[in-house]
Structure 1
């Protein structure tokens, strides 16, 4: 069976080959551009064989000599270890990021997710009840800048927009209204201060809580938030929401930041472990983006190819990696 891998992202360094996430099918067309969506007026479309070369046997791709595709090695932070992004007028990868559609026999996403899987998991009882009744469900997105949709080109391509669309694909009579209460730059201490005023009054059917990226940051005096305080703060938010009603709750683990950024602690996995443990203890879902992100890195994706700001914000493909954690979460239960 042929599947399509859509808008996979790459930042090419010179003419160095990068692995495709899945083995491409020879004889099938590919399409590369400088935007996630191909229908935008300012989209530049690149030509296979002229701008980029696909090795179908090896499953790799690279810039061609004389390519119109921007060379990521010209990025001012290329090769800089422990960089301070504040010293650069433009530290984004946007100008160097390209998006590729191609055909593969691999399963590029779990299309087998069913309503039975969701209902059997027991994680989204209140939300499913609304959707099955054809009513509007309220989904509150809570967390840091990644949960604001940071670096996604539009709401529908942010992880929460993709989750909404996945659910509505299965419950076609329902409606989901997203109320985004995330704040950029915030850690769990900020979430604790706001949860009673910004989340509880909305009486949400679903609340996702996405923190950890700013909590793990390495500052001059240590991490922004200790693991003990991180756990305590998450418990406070979960308990506050639970004590106020029966909202479904999902915890979201953070992706890995650029290891060359000076504020990266290297301990993001430990914060993700706290989130997983609390999910098990409370019996609530964990959208384990850290696990799906780690799988992408292990398969050869580079940090530059996944982080649009080159620091800690996923690009559109990175948000897809987040949303891809929904199916294993539900099937696991």
Structure 2
């Protein structure tokens, strides 16, 4: 049965072909536009044959000469190694990112999740109780700039907005209110310093904790946060929330930053492993965005096609990758 892959992001370089994440079905419509929302009034719709070519047999897309699609090679960071983004006024991929819809036989998205899956998982007991009763549930999003929504075009397309949407699809009678207490540029030291003030008094039904991107940042004197301190800081946040009540907790692993950025330590997976291990130890859910991100890279997605700021902030498709990790977490448990 065919499924529709929607708003898959690409930054196309010159006339070089990039693989589509899934094999497209020949004869089915392909839509390519400048913005992720298909009905956005400011979008530019590109024309197959004139602006881009799809190779249905190989499953690739590429620009054609003279295309309206901006050439990603014009980004000032293109081709630079160990770059310092602060030396450039504009280094974003926003102007170069396109979004593609196509039909595929591969299964994509958050399909197959049922209320029974949530109830069997036991990871979201308090939240599910609220959703079943029809009471308003409070979801507190806590973390760094990615959890603040960094580079998503609107809240509904952030990973936490998509998780909310997935839950409401399963419980249409329910209501979920999001309180975002994330701060851009923050690492786990900052999270520890304000958890008692910014999270505990809200008595949330669900808290997601998303750190690691800024903690892994590399500097001459070492990473921002050592792995030992990273674990200690996460433990403090988890313990503090648990002592205050019975809030459900989800831990979120970070995506991979641009490997050519001078502050990329190459150790993001180690920070993600700390999060995975704490999830198992505490018996709380882990939204393993990092694992999903690695699968995308292995399938041929480029960092530029996933990171809108070209450094460490996911685009709309990147946030979808984050939210995609929500389903296997529940089914696995």
- Residue 277 of structure 2 aligns with which residue? 277
For the 8 Å contact 1:212–1:271, the answer to whether it is kept is yes
Greater displacement, 100-109 / 256-265: 100-109
How far, CA to CA, are the matches of 1:109 and 1:309 in structure 2? 24
- Residue 265 of structure 1 aligns with which residue? 265
- Residue 197 of structure 1 aligns with which residue? 197
- Residue 330 of structure 1 aligns with which residue? 330
* Secondary structure, counterpart of 1:40 in structure 2: coil
How far, CA to CA, are the matches of 1:15 and 1:31 in structure 2? 19
* Secondary structure, counterpart of 2:314 in structure 1: coil
How far, CA to CA, are the matches of 1:177 and 1:185 in structure 2? 24
How far, CA to CA, are the matches of 1:111 and 1:38 in structure 2? 21
For the 8 Å contact 2:110–2:166, the answer to whether it is kept is no
For the 8 Å contact 1:29–1:102, the answer to whether it is kept is yes
Misfit runs of 4+, over 2 Å: none
How far, CA to CA, are the matches of 1:40 and 1:294 in structure 2? 30
- Residue 307 of structure 1 aligns with which residue? 307
How far, CA to CA, are the matches of 1:159 and 1:64 in structure 2? 33
For the 8 Å contact 1:123–1:284, the answer to whether it is kept is yes
Shift of 1:109: 1.9
Q: Give per-residue Cα distances to partners, 1:231-275, cap 9 Å, x unaligned.
A: 000000000000000000000000000000000000000000000
TM value normalised by structure 1: 0.99
* Secondary structure, counterpart of 2:328 in structure 1: helix
- Residue 2 of structure 1 aligns with which residue? 2
* Secondary structure, counterpart of 1:271 in structure 2: helix
For the 8 Å contact 1:22–1:108, the answer to whether it is kept is no
- Residue 293 of structure 2 aligns with which residue? 293
- Residue 96 of structure 1 aligns with which residue? 96
Alignment of 1:54-93 (within 5 A): 54-93=54-93
Shift of 1:110: 3.8
* Secondary structure, counterpart of 1:140 in structure 2: strand
- Residue 13 of structure 1 aligns with which residue? 13
How far, CA to CA, are the matches of 1:98 and 1:230 in structure 2? 36
For the 8 Å contact 1:127–1:205, the answer to whether it is kept is yes
1:45 equivalenced with 2:45 (yes/no): yes
- Residue 233 of structure 1 aligns with which residue? 233
For the 8 Å contact 1:195–1:237, the answer to whether it is kept is yes
How far, CA to CA, are the matches of 2:322 and 2:9 in structure 1? 14
Q: How many matched pairs?
A: 333
Structure 2 portions without partners, runs of 5+: none
- Residue 244 of structure 1 aligns with which residue? 244
- Residue 122 of structure 2 aligns with which residue? 122
Q: Give per-residue Cα distances to partners, 1:116-174, cap 9 Å, x unaligned.
A: 11110000000000000011000000000000000000000000000000000001110
Shift of 1:39: 1.8
Shift of 1:38: 2.0
- Residue 27 of structure 2 aligns with which residue? 27
Q: Give per-residue Cα distances to partners, 1:159-207, cap 9 Å, x unaligned.
A: 0000000000001110000000000000000000000000000000000
For the 8 Å contact 1:109–1:324, the answer to whether it is kept is yes
